[in-house]
Chain A
């Protein structure tokens, strides 16, 4: 089975540990993530100014490419890409005036009316694979690992594109449990890590990320699980206080993908140390 997949810029460079592990894990589940043949950067953030349509063209072009490649569902992984694509898609579905302006601006492309369904991998796993089926494929259960699911902002907000309601962290919790780990809930799971303020106001961003690390630590979590390369950078690499993983790395590991293919060298080194100390990775 194949599903069209949009990796986005960061998954091809700094966050190969997110992109490559998703491809490997899904392959173990018999699903091929077929990369879009032609794609561009989505713009990373959705334009909030009402008159700024030019910045909607980049994500809309991605959606047009998905339609050209067969349409249906488009799976994404990076939380920021997911948010930007899903929101641009809503404009094309629901706002006739803006849709007409954007369509008439794009010369080469066919008119697009919101036909694509933008789906985050967590939703896809639940709806198309199912946690019970996933559990059956787990060969390396993540026993003894206490992981706090962390969603950040863009998986849940605004409500109209949230993969689940604000304050609910069920999808990642269920995924972690299916993989054999213990999910440790934290109230800060949707507290902003500081996002792009890491280059605008690094001190403020650092304060936020420190709060998240501290909350997870106090709750007894060994590590945080996440879906966004910017969260991983702010909370994992910049803080360095608590191991962080992409949920796809944990999934891949549980499905028997080799530790080398999970690219733990791209995480903070404490992350791999944790897996060794728990005996999940044996050297």
Chain B
């Protein structure tokens, strides 16, 4: 993917907000791709975790807002324990989710969850799902 960089494309405020919300220095990432290789959900992502972090480093706010990847992350921390640079990527994913959720949007609508699922699944599935995927 060719990316043109200029002071207009690098959204500095976005980078600052992402770093503040995640508590992570995203510039530490040197793009080794261990996170993408480790991620058990990467097959279902439109953009793998390594690329998400690169896009974040370059402040590509609009592209990140379009990506659905942060919604697919299951916060399993598999990438986090393997990262040679100590970047806590699940926190970056959480920050990306929160930026979307704080605009008062839901990724899933509780009323649309099949009744059978609500009846069968353990409470922690619902509590965790609502915490991560609804505003």
Contacts and interface: CB of A to CB of B under 8 A. Distances in A.
Interface of A: 8-10, 13-15, 41, 43-45, 47-52, 55, 78, 80-81, 153, 156-159, 166, 190-192, 194-201, 203-205, 207-208, 211, 229-230, 232-233, 237
B23 interface: yes
**9 tightest A-B contacts by CB?**
A192-B76, A48-B94, A157-B77, A196-B128, A204-B44, A50-B23, A44-B127, A196-B129, A229-B122
Given A44-B131, A200-B108, A49 B74 contact: no
Contacts, number: 146
A153 B80 contact: no
Contact of B41 (A44, A197, A230): A197
Contact of A198 (B90, B91, B121, B127): B121
Interface of B: 20-23, 40-41, 43-44, 71-72, 74-78, 80-81, 88, 90-91, 93-95, 98, 107-108, 113, 117, 120-129, 131-133
A51 B121 CA distance: 30
A157 B82 CA distance: 11
A197 B74 contact: yes
B125 A196 contact: yes
B130 to A, nearest CB: 8
B129 A201 contact: no
B131 A51 contact: no
Contact of B44 (A9, A158, A191, A201): A201
Interface centre among B78, B95, B127 (most CB of A within 10 A): B127
Contacts of A237: 120
A48 B124 contact: no
Q: What DSSP secondary structure best describes chain B's contact surface?
A: helix
Interface centre among B22, B95, B123 (most CB of A within 10 A): B123
Contact of A157 (B72, B76, B126): B76
A204 B131 CA distance: 19
B94 A49 contact: yes
25 contacts: A9-B124, A43-B127, A43-B131, A45-B128, A45-B132, A47-B94, A51-B21, A81-B124, A157-B80, A157-B81, A158-B80, A194-B41, A196-B125, A196-B133, A197-B129, A198-B125, A199-B113, A201-B41, A204-B72, A208-B40, A208-B41, A230-B122, A233-B120, A233-B121, A233-B122
Contact of A207 (B22, B43, B124): B43
Contacts of A9: 123-124, 127
A159 B129 contact: no
Contacts of B122: 10, 13-15, 229-230, 232-233
